Amino acid sequence: MNKPVTLDVNGQSEEVRTFGGTVGDVLDSRDLDIEKRDQIKPGVDKKISRDMTITVNTAKEVSLSVDGKKSDETTHANTVGQALADLGVDAKNADLSAKPNQKLKDEGNEIDVTTAKDLTIVADGKDHKVSAAAGTAKEALGETKLKLDKDDFLSVPLSSKVSDGQVLTVNRVKNDTVKEKQAIEAKTETKKSDDLYVGETKVEEEGKDGQKQVSYKVKTVNGNEVKKEKKDEKVLSEPKAKVVIQGTKKKEAPAEKPDDSDNGSDAGTGDGDSDNGSDAGTGDGGSDNGSGGSDDGSGGSDDGDNSTGGGSGSGGGGGDMSTQEIKDMLGGPGSKWYQVAKCESEFNPRAVNKSNNAHFGLFQFKIATWQSMGGSGNPIDASPQEQFDRAKKLQAAAGWGQWACA
């Protein structure tokens, strides 16, 4: 009835002999303090058989930290290594606070684990592989030959925790002083002179830009400029101002040319009877920068001053257009057509040059040239619009030289 059995308590084995009938009887005979959470194999109600092995693993409290993450655990393991396996912690190549074969106590066990990780550190355009039980970025960097200079920094703080597969970047910082040459723009000075007409200019001094040297403090990170701060500047050469002369002299009205100068050609007609080149009546000197009145009183008085007035009984204005409408049609005071019509006829579309009775209308056409431009009859019988159209056609064919006033 006395049976030998092996009793293993938390890894410590001894052979005992017992008259008990169950596993529980054996445990009671050894005065063991067994709790419900302890692990007993086989169970306490199991009948004893000869040479049986009874295993008892008591529950143990463990304060576990894995890569900085803490937790309170319970295990029936008897050593640190067994506890980590029981708790599902991969301790291969890990850094442990205790040796794997260290025995566990029922309570007060502390295990810190830094697991092995595969990381990549990018520096100077190259990838540096790290496979180690590194807990922080600083520890991972320490696994390489890389060094951080005074202003260099990692993409994460050195004290930050790292994880498997993480990529860290070393940022190289440089602070340099850079000198640049820059132009100093020359100013423009203006002088007035009555040696030039209004609207005319002349450069008296060309001027020249100066030059200065500017110093900057430039900060770069991995070769890219991130900050540029001006420190000082030095003038290398002073700028020389450009001097421009502006005319103040007013232009005088064009002088009247004597009649029958007969020294030009009737533009575009080939009839040889032009008087000083202006088919429209200006070039031959026949018009006295205006229009005299016809003897029927429609345009102005016949007082012998050779000015031209209305050549028909329609009145001395703009015919079917007012004088203001004619001025607007010609483009206003800034237009060259405006100047020509003012000089030739004082904007009178019925004007006749009394000095030769050979130039007619707003632009003092000769009859032959009027007809060569597609007109019929006498220009003064045509509308101001048609006279303007024929004048533009003449100008396109023979230029502004057809009117001395131009």
The CATH T-level fold of domain 3-57 is: Ubiquitin-like (UB roll) (3.10.20)
pLDDT reading at 332 higher than 70: yes
Residue type at 41 in one-letter notation: K
Burial bucket for residue 319 (CB in 10 Å: 0-12, 13-18, 19+):
buried
CATH superfamily of 60-114: Beta-grasp domain (3.10.20.30)
Say what the pLDDT of residue 253 is: 59
Which range has the top average pLDDT, 54-63, 95-104, 203-212?
A: 203-212
Token duo for residue 76:
């029936």
**Distance between CA atoms of residues 162 and 168, nearest Å:** 9
Token duo for residue 42:
């086989």
Greater confidence, 297 or 96?
A: 96
Q: What percent of the chain has pLDDT over 90?
A: 46
pLDDT tens-digit series, residues 44-65:
788 888 888 989 888 888 999 9
Average model confidence (pLDDT) across the chain: 81
pLDDT reading at 297 higher than 70: no
pLDDT reading at 286 higher than 80: no
Say what the pLDDT of residue 295 is: 33
Q: What percent of the chain has pLDDT over 70?
A: 83
> Could you tell me which of 113, 125, 42, 126 has the C-alpha nearest to residue 71?
113
- The reply to whether omega before 100 is within 30° of 0 (cis) is no
**Distance between CA atoms of residues 390 and 326, nearest Å:** 15
pLDDT reading at 377 higher than 90: yes
Burial bucket for residue 13 (CB in 10 Å: 0-12, 13-18, 19+):
exposed
Distance of CA 35 to the CA centre of its chain: 76
Say what the pLDDT of residue 269 is: 36
Which range has the top average pLDDT, 52-66, 171-185, 192-206, 261-275?
A: 171-185
pLDDT tens-digit series, residues 68-94:
889 999 998 889 988 889 888 887 878
Q: How far is CA 377 from CA 84, 372, 385, 386, 396, in A?
A: 122, 11, 16, 12, 22
pLDDT reading at 25 higher than 80: no
Say what the pLDDT of residue 241 is: 93
> Could you tell me which of 322, 294, 284, 310 has the C-alpha nearest to residue 405?
284
Q: CATH code for 252-406?
A: 1.10.530.10
Burial bucket for residue 312 (CB in 10 Å: 0-12, 13-18, 19+):
middle
Rounded mean pLDDT, 244-264: 62
The verdict on domain 178-249 having CATH code 2.20.230.10 is yes
**Cβ density class 253-285: b for 16+ within 10 Å, e for less:** eeebbebeeeebbbbbbeeeebbbbbbbbbbbb
Report residue 8's pLDDT band, with 50, 70 and 90 as the boundaries: confident
Say what the pLDDT of residue 254 is: 55
